[in-house]
Amino acid sequence: MKAIVKTKPEKGFIEVKEVPIPKIKEDEVLVKIHATGVCGTDILLADWEYLGRNPVEPPIILGHEGAGEIVEVGANVTNVKVGDRVGLEAIIGCGTCHHCRRGNPNLCSKWGHLGIDFDGTFAEYIAFPAANVHVLPDKITYEQAAFVEPISIVAHAFESNPITPGDTVAIVGPGPLGLFSVQAAKSAGAGKIIVIGTAEDKVRLEIAQQLGADYVLNNGDSDATEAIKELTNGIGAEVVFEAGGTGKSIEQAIAVASGNGKVFLMGFGKESTIKPLTQIVRQNLMVKGVVASRPDHYETVNRWLENGVVDIKHMVTHTLGFEDVEKAFQLLKNKEAGKVLFKPEL
């Protein structure tokens, strides 16, 4: 089968190769991948860095956003069958630790990550634990289901119903998580949705407007922090979603929050310190990190997609085959794409 493989530990060394179709274990299924999305993490892995984690051990097939059809089931599998259309969880917990037993495998200290710790979705077929697949509703396409994993992170942020209808919502960083947050916030009844980006984010800021953002602000053109204060009569945003993953974007997310505001940190940044601790205290802010997602978040996203809460049609700007992996990575590095989708048959 054809696959995108990280072949050596140095920067780069991504190859499209023919590799054997994997053999499944008795508790696994073999999934024929029909669509798989490209994440910024895949680019970091290709360049041999992953935000404090140990680097991957090549050779390894990258990719963790995928959906496909079950073509074979292991001897002990009873929850799914051949022909089922499924999405795949990205994180597999150990199943026995304190957090796993409480239903939080995303907090497991021994969790494994699809496409990082074991072979991922940039392949025609993948062997995967049957317990960690989710059968897709009939209305959801493979293309939609390929993005259940990133949308599930947004569902995690929304699980505590952070938005009261009429709230001003600010989204710092118009990457995929930020753009999915625009749609979720709109559906939740946000009064104003303000998206903040940079000059490099021109394409994504345009997508944000198409998805329903009321204002898009470019930090390169103006002081977006001050602009939000003006747009809210000096109050700030009641709810802020930080999806930029940099020290600057985290500081800005805190700076634009209103008193008693809620700030959700969804991006992964390299910076280990941020400055506005005093503001968090003085403004009585709730700041919450959103670490990956749990199995129930995937089910939530299936319902979101089925009912039109989120829509990928404006998000997917490029659909490519595996042979175009370098083009796909470059588009995302240059922020010239919303989401890039691989289809193995292309």
Please report which residue ranges of 286-341 form alpha helices under DSSP H.
Answer: 295-307, 325-333
**How many other CB atoms are found less than 10 A from the CB of residue 28?**
23
How far is residue 67 from each of residues 46, 122, 282, measured CA to CA in Å? Answer: 22, 11, 45
Same CATH topology for 2-147+315-342 and 154-289? no
Peptide bond connecting 137 to the previous residue in cis, omega within 30 degrees of 0: no
Show the tokens assigned to 337.
């794409």
User: For the whole model, what pTM was predicted?
Assistant: 0.92
* Cα 312 to Cα 305: distance, rounded to the nearest angstrom: 9
Domain ranges of the chain: 2-147+315-342, 154-289
In terms of Cα–Cα distance, which of 236, 249, 245 is closest to 285? 236
pLDDT digit string (tens) for the chain, length 346 residues? 999 999 987 777 899 999 999 999 999 999 999 999 999 889 888 876 554 455 678 899 999 999 999 999 999 999 999 999 999 999 999 999 999 999 999 999 999 999 999 999 999 999 999 999 999 999 999 999 999 999 999 999 998 778 999 999 999 999 999 999 999 999 999 999 999 999 889 999 999 999 999 999 998 777 898 999 999 999 999 999 999 888 889 999 999 999 999 999 998 666 656 676 788 999 999 999 987 889 999 999 999 999 999 989 889 999 999 999 999 999 999 989 999 999 999 9
Alpha carbon of residue 63 to chain centroid: 12
The single-letter code of the amino acid at 96 is: T
In the DSSP assignment, the letter for residue 163 is: P
Kindly indicate whether the domain formed by 154-289 is annotated with CATH number 3.40.640.10.
no
* Cα 232 to Cα 226: distance, rounded to the nearest angstrom: 10
The single-letter code of the amino acid at 67 is: A
* Cα 258 to Cα 59: distance, rounded to the nearest angstrom: 48
* Cα 315 to Cα 340: distance, rounded to the nearest angstrom: 9
How many CA atoms within 13 Å lie on the side-chain side of 328? 26
CATH topology of domain 2-147+315-342: Quinone Oxidoreductase; Chain A, domain 1 (3.90.180)
